[in-house]
Structure formats: C-alpha cells, structure tokens
Structure 1
C-alpha cells in the first residue's frame, strides 16, 4: 500500500484560478510560469524576489515553452504563437487544428529533441473532439485522435518513452519514441489503468529517475509512479482539483503544483480559500528542467 504524505509545503500564490494549468520554469531567470486557461491569463512568478505579474492574453492558452532569452512559445485555442518576453508581443507560428474553433489547447510538453507534443480538446470536453500533435519547427504531425481530455504528456529522461492520457478514459499510456525526433516508433500500451478510480489522471512530469509525478484531479494529491507503473507514494495538496506539476528551482529539486476551482459548485463541493491556488509541494525531488522549443 502506497504511503500518503500530508501536505508539508507552502502556498506559492494564493490567487484562486478558475483553471490553473500548464506550469513551467525558466532556470535562466528563476521564474515560474503558469496559466489561468479560462481566465485568459499568463501568470509569472520570479522566485528569488517573489515578484508576481499577470499578463492578459487575447485567447485561452495552456502551454508555455522557452525558446531563448527573448522568446517563448505559447499553445492556445488559436494555434501556436511566438511571444516576446519583454513586450508580450505575439506572432503566429503554426496551426494544429485549423477550422476547429470549438476546440482549445490543453496539456503539452517539449521533448528533448526540441519538438512539442500538444493536446487539444473540445471547449466543453466533448467526447473524442480533440487529439495529440507533434510540432517540430512549425511542422504539425497528428499522433493520436479521438481524445477527449489530453493530459500527462511527459517524457522519460533519456527521451525514448512518452506518456499521455485521455482523462475521460483515465489510463496512463506509454509509447516508445525516437529520441532524435520525439515521434512514436511503436504502438502505445497501458502503463496505469485508473479507469475505475474517481480521481482523474491530470498533468504529469517525469524526473531523472524515470518516475512519473502525476496530479490527481479531484483527489487533492500528486502521485509518484515508477517507470513500470507501480504507485510508489502520494503527496496531499490543499487544492482538491490538482491539475499539473512542474519542477522548479535552479536544481529542479522542488515541485510546483497548480489547481482549479472550476466546476466545484456543479459537483456539489464547497470551495475554500485554497482551491485554485498554486503550491510548492515542500519536498526535495530529483527533477529535470523543461526543454526549449527548437526553431531551426
């Protein structure tokens, strides 16, 4: 039986977000970034100084990736955009679902090759409305279709395995990929079958040991799985609707976790002051910084 650890961390940001998601960290500036997807906001927290900035966006966005010291990549409901860090100026980069205004981006992450995996979903989480795509320097390749809520996109430390889920199906999938490109080279297989679990498999990151840290939507926790799919331990989080973790700190030895209050009233739950807040899990981890998106 896996041990469940009580929360021993701290609140990084108490702002209650309707749908906090897509956290990442830029080691060059010691800055954490994450989104309030439904609120069309990009949140920036400089960890050394504690300076917090909220950037308004013209669209719903969900994934941010570093390109270089001056630019970032943003995945949004309108496609991929390059963002100038200093000014916030946005330039269109690529479309992954042209002609599908009913969809938006959701979970995603950059592979060691510099290619992005990005998932999409219907804005009302319609069954099978979305997909998962591979984007390399603006070239889009469809990987998986008929996806309802794409999540848990992350990669083994050697870049040979990718993980993902459809939260409505609630099975964490594993697939072998080419470490040079991030493209699948085999059929996916089930790593963790949580189809009977009330808690949803949401966002994940993979550490240097190959362990997968997964946010459990509805359970207020982060679960750590081995590369073989064994549940090793759980860590409680005050935000019941835990959405996504990210390794933060110069040594990637801390874990940031976002959460959401969206839908709590509909589910008969009473949100308190910590629902939708952003947390530091308060434990030492052996993490890996996110890779930069590569522009040739």
Structure 2
C-alpha cells in the first residue's frame, strides 16, 4: 500500500532537523539549525512553541534530570524549557572553528552518540563523539565531511553512522565500555538512489529509517540492509524521521528549504514543514540522557 505523508505543521524551517518524540510530555521536538530555533509541537492539539538558541542548534535530547541536552556549533548545552534558557556545559572541538555539531542519538544506557561536520561542507573534519555521564570521547571513527545519524539498534549493540557526502551507512559493534569495532558497510547508495542520506534512526526491529536530502523520499532498510519501504514526499529535502505516538507507529519527518531558489520554493510550497505518516513497525522509546 502506498504511504502518502501529510503536512501537519507549517514550520517553514530553513533546515529542519533532529526530530525526537519525547514520551514524558508526549510531544515532538525538533530544531531549525540555520535559523537557531528549537521547536516543540503538541501533535494532538497542534500547539507549537519555539525558543531562540544561542547559535546553530543541531539536536536536542531529553535528559534524566528533567531538562534537555543540546548540541550547538560551539559545544553542549543544557536547555531548561521552563525558563527557556540554554546553559553552556562544555566545548567539543575548540580547535576546529569551522565545524559545528550536526546530529545525535541516545542509546539504551543513556549515552549520547553525536557527530560534527564541516559547516562549509567541503573538507573531512566531521568526527563522531560519545557523551557518557559528563565525559566526552572521540570514538576514533575516521572523519568525514558531514556526519549524520547515528542510529542505534534497539539492543544498544550496533551503531549505524551515516556518511552523507560519501552516500553510505557504515555499521559498528558497540562494546560494553562504549568502544566501537568491526566496521562494515550497511548500505552504499548507488546512482539509482536520488539525493544524499541524511538523519537516521532505528525502529524496534532494528530497521533503519533514513531521510534523503534532495531525494524527495525517506527509506527504510531492515537490519540486514535490505530496502523494505520507500515513502515519497512532495518536497525534496527530507532530513530525518522520528517515531512516536501512542503505539510508536506515528512517523514524523523534518524537511528543509535550504538550497531552494524562488522557483523551487514556488514548486514546493510545503518545504520546511513537518510531515506525518503511519509506519508498519513501531519505534523505540527514547532513553533520557544520563547526565552524571
């Protein structure tokens, strides 16, 4: 059966990204990186809230002390939604001023895996990091220009790292101490796949949903890397999928207006909006970040 995504929120985001379903307030959170905005959407009532971040904000994840951990261009921040404040916690790459943080995921133990990228999208300075109870470590994964995802398998034992410009996803085994090993190719995208792989997440079967920037679609691959679903959109830039809702099968997609000229924006009036469709396989409840 053909899945037809529906635009449910006119965010008009320049670079909508990082959607995450937060179970404790049953809402969708996402960012607009280039506009420096953090958004919360109550999908039941349609009520939306927005906060100004102190820079380019790549992602936000719920933390175990009731607030959120967020990644900005210059490092990690604690976001307090009640006060609407961002508190700087630490720098991540002070020696790489041309980089910014881009995307992240939390594993079942509460560790955050996040990547950086060259903000000019030109050189391979994007690294993959791990935040484990206040400590940041470089995972040692070879740098790429734009990191995305990563997506974490529901058992917490596999990490899928997206190399956007390399047009591939590589998988790693996560050891108990958080080290990564056994790199292998999960999917390499050929000329038959339009666009570049962007944000990625895992569902409860270990399937990987990935949005395609410039590809007019999101795709799901099973745990072995076989394509199972392709969802076509009326906009070109699909950045990431989040799974949530009452049964975990509500899929929410962020999209982007970035790079679209006036003619393309007229062709794609819904670009930058939040879209919804129903997925066959439910997602996994996001574990709050362990801050200490």
* TM-score range relative to shorter protein: over 0.9
Distance 1:237 1:48, change over 3 A: same
What pairs with 1:66-105 in structure 2 (closer than 5 Å)? Answer: 66-68=62-64, 70-105=66-101
Match of 1:273 in 2: 269
What pairs with 1:1-296 in structure 2 (closer than 5 Å)? Answer: 5-7=2-4, 9-68=5-64, 70-143=66-139, 144-178=141-175, 180-184=176-180, 186-196=181-191, 197-265=193-261, 271-296=267-292
Secondary structure of the residue aligned to 2:211 is strand
Q: Aligned-pair distance for 1:281?
A: 1.8
Greater displacement, 60-69 / 280-289 = 280-289
Q: Distance in 1 between matches of 2:255 and 2:133?
A: 31
**Structure 1 portions without partners, runs of 5+:** none
Kept in 1, the 8 Å contact 2:63–2:289? The answer is: yes
Distance 1:266 1:142, change over 3 A: farther
Kept in 2, the 8 Å contact 1:60–1:77? The answer is: yes
Distance 1:271 1:148, change over 3 A: farther
Greater displacement, 198-207 / 35-44 = 198-207
Q: Aligned-pair distance for 1:70?
A: 2.9
Deviations 1:53-108, CA, capped at 9 Å, x for gaps: 11111111111110136310001101001111201222222322123221111111
Distance 1:183 1:252, change over 3 A: farther
**Structure 2 portions without partners, runs of 5+:** none
Distance 1:268 1:33, change over 3 A: closer
Secondary structure of the residue aligned to 1:39 is coil
Kept in 2, the 8 Å contact 1:61–1:76? The answer is: yes
Q: Distance in 1 between matches of 2:253 and 2:260?
A: 18
Kept in 2, the 8 Å contact 1:121–1:129? The answer is: yes
Q: Distance in 1 between matches of 2:187 and 2:20?
A: 24
Two-structure CA RMSD over aligned residues (Å) = 1.9
Deviations 1:163-200, CA, capped at 9 Å, x for gaps: 0111110111111102x45431x231111111544421
Q: Aligned-pair distance for 1:284?
A: 4.5
Q: Distance in 1 between matches of 2:16 and 2:136?
A: 26
Distance 1:117 1:259, change over 3 A: same
Distance 1:154 1:108, change over 3 A: same
Q: Distance in 1 between matches of 2:55 and 2:8?
A: 25
Deviations 1:227-262, CA, capped at 9 Å, x for gaps: 111111211122211000011213322110001110
Distance 1:187 1:209, change over 3 A: same
Secondary structure of the residue aligned to 2:170 is strand
